[in-house]
Amino acid sequence: MSGKDLRYDAACIKVLEGVEAVRKRPGMYVGSTAERGLHQMVFEVVGRAVNAVLATGGGRVDVTLTPDGGVLVADDGPGVPFEGDADADGPGLEALLTGFPAGPGPAGRHVADVGYFHVGLMVANALSSRLTAEVRCEGVRRAQEYARGVALTPPVAVGSTTTTGTTIAFWPDTEIFETTRCSFAVLAERLRQVAFLSRGLEISLADRRPDGGARKVRFCFPDGVRDFVAALHAETGGAVAADVVAFEREDPRMAGAMEVALVWQGSGEDRVRGFANSRPTFEGGAHLDGFRDGLATAVTAYGRARGLLTAVAADVGADGIWDGVTAVVSVKLDHPEFLGATRTLLGGTEVRACVREAVRDHVGTWLDAHPEDAARIVDRINRSADRD
């Protein structure tokens, strides 16, 4: 082989952009071309709809698995104009469907991070054999159609309307995905989580596929994480928890807000769930560390002050406190600091300190106001320490 044949320079580099890049390496954008990646694509589209309605204080998002294998996501938000102003209300829908979102991640505490990759509508468009978008805004219905990320027509008026909102329907590409059949159970579980963490949101999932059994579920939880904890506790077979401890607090030191709920009932391993900007933090992190610190401090301080802790239990520390605890700790931050590529571990020393302080204060106040419940909790710790 000649030296000329071995030459490598800038001319040898092929830069893939936009739709071509996504379709060439889909796993980089949705995680895989199997069912997991398919669901992530759905979550990206749902995420835009959820944030559209939350921005107006609440509303409705309807997700439908259609008879022809598509997914339809409709919301009753203000409607995203196809043409937008990046310096005013943000990019229009056409820009969202054809370009990557600006910035490295979600824009602060008011954005629900429904999809785990934050790649936006463009990726769903590129990985769909067909996508249609309809916007209802200012009395006019306008629509546009795409095929594999490429616009087939400009946005056109298709009628009048008295409502507002956006509807996106897409058909995952069989040339890309190993399966284009979504799991109703997987989608329902994630949508349920998002509804628990987003008070004011109503979200539904309907299965209209021929073999889908005409299933439909609706999620709306006015009490947020309090309802979440009650539901988690019910999954253990226990009665609906009436004595859930719940609070929310905003703290400028961590540039965000927290919602915490917990209950002691039954026995066994603790069931503690953590979320950051509505994203599950499977590996834990600063918010859960702060929760555990604060809870241990509040309970042991209460027990010691009243002479309720046995000598053995007083030495156990936090370990004996978690027996039978069910809790949800949700933080919403302007600048979440995720550790690692998976973004399932939350960092931030201020987050830990703020959550610890809030849990210590609120749980301590609750224990003082509920002496009978507090005595049972301390007795639970004593019995757990004796077993050890």
The pLDDT value recorded for residue 283 is: 94
Q: Model's pTM, two decimal places?
A: 0.89
Q: Tell me the pLDDT tens digit for each residue of 307-339.
A: 887 766 666 555 668 878 999 999 999 999 998
CATH fold for the domain made of 225-387? Ribosomal Protein S5; domain 2 (3.30.230)
166 pLDDT more than 90: yes
Structure tokens at 91: 């990019």
Average pLDDT for 66-92: 81
Ranges of CATH 3.30.565.10 domains, the chain = 18-219
The pLDDT value recorded for residue 84 is: 61
The residue among 237, 221, 290 whose CA lies nearest residue 260 is 290
The pLDDT value recorded for residue 105 is: 46
The most distant pair of C-alpha atoms in the chain lies apart, rounded to whole Å, by: 88
Separation between Cα atoms, residue 114 and residue 122, nearest integer Å: 16
Map the chain to HEC letters. Answer: CCCCCCCCCHHHCCCCCHHHHHHHCCHHHHCCCCHHHHHHHHHHHHHHHHHHHHCCCCEEEEEEECCCCCEEEEECCCCCCCCCECCCCECCHHHHHHCCCCCCCCCCCCCCCCCCCCCCHHHHHHCEEEEEEEEEECCEEEEEEEECCEECCCCEEEEECCCCEEEEEEEECCCCCCCCCCCHHHHHHHHHHHHHCCCCEEEEEEECCCCCCCCEEEECCCCCHHHHHHHHHHHCCCCCCCCCEEEEEEEHHHCEEEEEEEEECCCCCCEEEEEECCEECCCCEHHHHHHHHHHHHHHHHHHHHCCCCCHHHHHHHHHHHCCCEEEEEEEEECCCCECCCCCCCECCHHHHHHHHHHHHHHHHHHHHHCHHHHHHHHHHHHHHHHHC
Q: In this predicted model, which residue has the larger pLDDT, 141 or 114?
A: 141
The pLDDT value recorded for residue 107 is: 53
Average pLDDT for 346-360: 97
Separation between Cα atoms, residue 203 and residue 327, nearest integer Å: 23
The pLDDT value recorded for residue 200 is: 87
What confidence tier does 86 reach under pLDDT thresholds 50, 70, 90? Answer: very low
Average pLDDT for 202-223: 95
Angle, helices 286-305 vs 349-369, to 10°: value is 30
What confidence tier does 8 reach under pLDDT thresholds 50, 70, 90? Answer: very low
Average pLDDT for 177-183: 97
Contact 294, 356 (CB under 8 A): yes
Average pLDDT for 260-277: 87
What confidence tier does 6 reach under pLDDT thresholds 50, 70, 90? Answer: low
CATH fold for the domain made of 18-219? Heat Shock Protein 90 (3.30.565)
165 pLDDT more than 90: yes
What confidence tier does 83 reach under pLDDT thresholds 50, 70, 90? Answer: confident
Contact 351, 290 (CB under 8 A): yes
Average pLDDT for 27-44: 95
13 pLDDT more than 70: no
Least confident of 112-116, 121-125, 159-163, 225-229: 112-116
